[in-house]
A = this chain, B = another copy of it.
Amino acid sequence: MTALSPHALDGPVLVVGCGLIGTSVGLALRQHDVDVVLHDALPGHAELAVSLGAGRPLTDDVVPYLVVVAVPPSASASVVVESLDRWPEALVTDVTSVKSGVQSSVDGTPGVDRFAGGHPMAGSERSGPMAASAQLFEGRPWAVTPSAATRPAALDAVVDLALHVGGVPIVMDPTAHDRAVALVSHVPQVMSTLTAARLNDAAGNDLALSGPGLRDTTRIAASDGAMWLDILGTNARDVKAVLELVRDDLDRVIGAIGHDDEVLAGVLESGRRGTTLIPGKHGSSAARFDLVHVQVADRPGELSRLMTDTGESGVNIEDLRLDHDLGRPVGLAEIAVALGVGQSLVQALTSRGWTAYL
């Protein structure tokens, strides 16, 4: 499905940081004729991104509507605060993979209401502007993490940004986000590393027996260590909490293996059940989803309100499409959810005042 936004981003979008993510944002927005302005502390990166067609260079006369901070994680909080200060009318977001730290740096600063964090769940083993792609975010979740202080227009702009680049906006608070990524991204990364680390003990022809299962489970362990050191350090508390639960299960397996089939079967079954909870995008998906249709008025804030209400209903969004005829005051959102849960989403949205149906 292709996501289409009902609102144009109202004015220049300034992308600060022209690496893989920033340049890809620029390329994707340019496909919708959004006015994109590019800046990077390394002028060469910005020039390269401009030459790739990701936008025009930043000049003093630019008054951005939205600033997308896409700098390395360690610089993100300070660039967000600087941007809120330098452009007192601009809405600001960032793309770092851990949200609480940036949010607490922004809390209490003037302009905190103009900030809503973001985290596109997309990347590549490669980095830098040359690795960028307008399709990088296509169909991928884009976490949008407003705080209690965020004004609706800021949340709306980030949801719009996610939709413009083809992503699926998922609205959650920064704390919930960090706990979620510990579970679905950071801990799997550590587990992949621990599995791959043992291969250094291989002798003789051991690794000649490698199959696709080993390649799949260890693929992400080949990622950039410096980046992961940064991510794991920033989300230490949440990652550690999950890893301690993993250690409990590992101790259980070590104790049970070869002795207690019941305990071992329980852990295997728990893992199998866990895999069934992952929203499935692969395969013939059409028949596997309920499609919930929701009428969305063409005014600022409606779409982000829908995303927030859907998120609070506890239903996972598998995919999202917006159909909107120019000139009509109402658009139609089509939300794909797991088979069997569509009716409960319809009820949840109806009780919140939406016109929703299967």
Interface residues of A (CB under 8 A from B): 121-122, 140-141, 143, 168, 170, 172, 176-177, 179-181, 183-185, 187-211, 213-223, 225-226, 228-229, 232-233, 236-237, 239-240, 242-247, 249-251, 253-254, 257-259, 261, 264-265, 267-279, 282, 311-312, 314-317
Q: Which residues of B contact A122 (CB under 8 A)?
A: 211
Q: Are A207 and B184 in contact (CB under 8 A)?
A: yes
A288 to chain B, nearest CB (A): 15
Cα of A243 to Cα of B257 in the assembled complex, Å: 10
Give the residues in chain B near A188, CB-CB below 8 Å: 195, 213-214, 217-218
In the complex, the answer to whether B257 meets A247 with C-beta atoms within 8 Å is no
Let me know if A183 and B205 touch, CB within 8 A.
no
A275 contact set on B, CB distance < 8 A: 196, 199, 218-219, 221-222
Known: A181-B209, A278-B207. A219 touches B218 (CB 8 A): no
Known A-B contacts A197-B274, A232-B257, A274-B200; the reply to A220 vs B216 at CB < 8 A is yes
| Residues of B close to A249: CB separation below 8 A | 194, 197
List chain B residues, Cβ under 8 A from A203.
176, 179
Asked if residues B199 and A179 are in contact (CB atoms below 8 Å), the reply is no
What are the residues of chain B within 8 A of A277 when measuring CB–CB? 199-200, 202, 207
| CA gap between A205 and B309 in the complex, in Å | 11
Q: Could you say which of B168, B180, B217 contacts A192, with CB atoms under 8 Å apart? A: B217
Contact in complex: A221, B170 (CB < 8 Å): no
